[in-house]
Amino acid sequence: MTLHLRPRTPDDLPALVTVLRAVHERMGYPSVWPDDPAAFVQGRGEAWVAVLAGRVAGQVMLAPLPEPRPEWAAQTALPDEVLPGEVMEVKRLFVSLDAQRGGIARTLLAHALRQGRARGSFSVLQVNESSVPAVRLYEREGWRFVARTRAPWTDPDGSHPWVRVYAQPGP
**pLDDT tens for each residue of 44-61:** 999 999 999 999 999 999
Q: Residue 159 has what pLDDT?
A: 92
**Would you call 87 helix, strand, or coil by DSSP?**
strand
pLDDT tens column, 130-166: 999 999 999 999 999 988 988 888 888 899 999 999 9
Half-sphere exposure of 111 (CA within 13 A, CB side): 23
| Number of domains within the chain | 1
pLDDT tens column, 64-75: 886 655 555 655
Kindly report the CATH number assigned to the domain that includes residue 90: 3.40.630.30
Residue 77, pLDDT > 60, answer: no
- Would you say 3 and 51 are in contact if contact means Cβ atoms under 8 Å apart? yes
Question: In terms of residue numbers, what domain contains 28?
Answer: 3-167
